[in-house]
A and B are shown apart, each in its own frame.
Chain A
Amino acid sequence: MLETMFARPQGLFDQLDAMQRLLSRSLGVEGSPGTIRSVAQGAFPEINVGRTAKSLEVFVFAPGLEASSIDVVVERNVLKVSGSRSSAIPRNDNNVQLYANERPEGKFVRAVSLPDDADTARVEAKYKDGILRVSVGLVEPAQPKRIAVK
């Protein structure tokens, strides 16, 4: 079965989480997110996470950055991505009229808590077309071991 990273995960708890967010948003209740690091929709940069048998793939949608200016840190099983985005709008020019300013600018930081089987020694990060992809290796699941009874 193929599943894309864009499909909403179908787990029951994810759905509950999504419902709770939706409810809290429509009721105007702030500060009751499902998980501690979840943020309101529209935060910059947006993050998608996928999992394969061997790795956790974190996709950070952060266009318009220099690869060298992105900080990727793993500390105590938390992956932290931070950086800063400057604006191309010439603000000091009086002859420039600004019509839309939707693109987030300035400093950002986002964190993803990693699963227990994450191997924090095997982390790779690549930046292409405005997407930072962080691959975190997963530890092979321990094989059940039969102990001979003497």
Chain B
Amino acid sequence: MSDRNEIANKATAESSAGSNASGSANARPVAPAVDIFEDAAGITLLADMPGVSRDSLDVRLDGDALAVEGRVELQLPEDMRAVWAEVQAPRFRRVFTLSRELDPARIEANLKDGVLQLRIPKHAQAQARRIEVRAG
């Protein structure tokens, strides 16, 4: 077995071995803390997902439901045992409902240092337009 271990795999092995009844693989995912703000052109969403890499991130749109999901990936030594655990689930998940003026086809996602940034633009026709008043 390689040095690299995904927590999810370890946890699965653990719960199947029955060594821990409260195995963390099936632990409910944690809702990541988010900042959400809107400007004239769209909505920006920032989500704290420490330990989530590009490969383990999943941003999915189902109808008007935008699901953000990620798995915490760490290289853990084989013989490590936990002595203190504030983070108890190796998964993040949160679902948001989009309204109709948003354009899901043009969502941009950017993941850096465990922070996911989503930019959800509004449809062009939904953007507030300033109508210039001409003199004359």
Contact = CB atoms under 8 A, between A and B. Distances in A.
Given A129-B52, A130-B113, 6 more contacts: A4-B10, A4-B14, A6-B87, A8-B85, A87-B35, A98-B35
B51 A49 contact: no
A82 to B, nearest CB: 17
Interface of A: 1-10, 41, 43, 45-53, 55-57, 59, 61-65, 87-90, 93, 95-104, 112, 127, 129-131, 133
Contact of B14 (A2, A8, A133): A2
Nearest to B30: A46
Secondary structure at the A interface, as helix, strand, loop or mixed, is: loop
A79 to B, nearest CB: 12
Contact of B38 (A50, A88, A96, A127): A96
Interface in B68-118: 72-74, 76-77, 79-90, 112-115, 117
B50 A63 contact: yes
Contacts of B24: 4, 6-7
A93 B39 contact: yes
* Chain B interface main SS type: mixed
A129 B11 contact: no
Interface residues of B, number: 50
B125 to A, nearest CB: 19
A103 B90 CA distance: 19
Nearest to B73: A129
Contacts of A96: 37-39
Contacts of B120: none
A61 B90 CA distance: 12
A131 B74 contact: yes
A56 B24 CA distance: 21
B124 interface: no
A65 B112 CA distance: 9
B85 to A, nearest CB: 5
A108 to B, nearest CB: 13
Contact of A7 (B17, B23, B113): B23
Contact of A4 (B11, B46, B112): B11
25 contacts: A4-B24, A4-B90, A6-B7, A6-B24, A6-B27, A6-B90, A7-B20, A8-B88, A9-B84, A43-B86, A46-B86, A46-B87, A47-B84, A48-B86, A49-B85, A50-B82, A51-B80, A52-B81, A64-B48, A65-B113, A90-B39, A97-B38, A100-B34, A101-B35, A129-B51
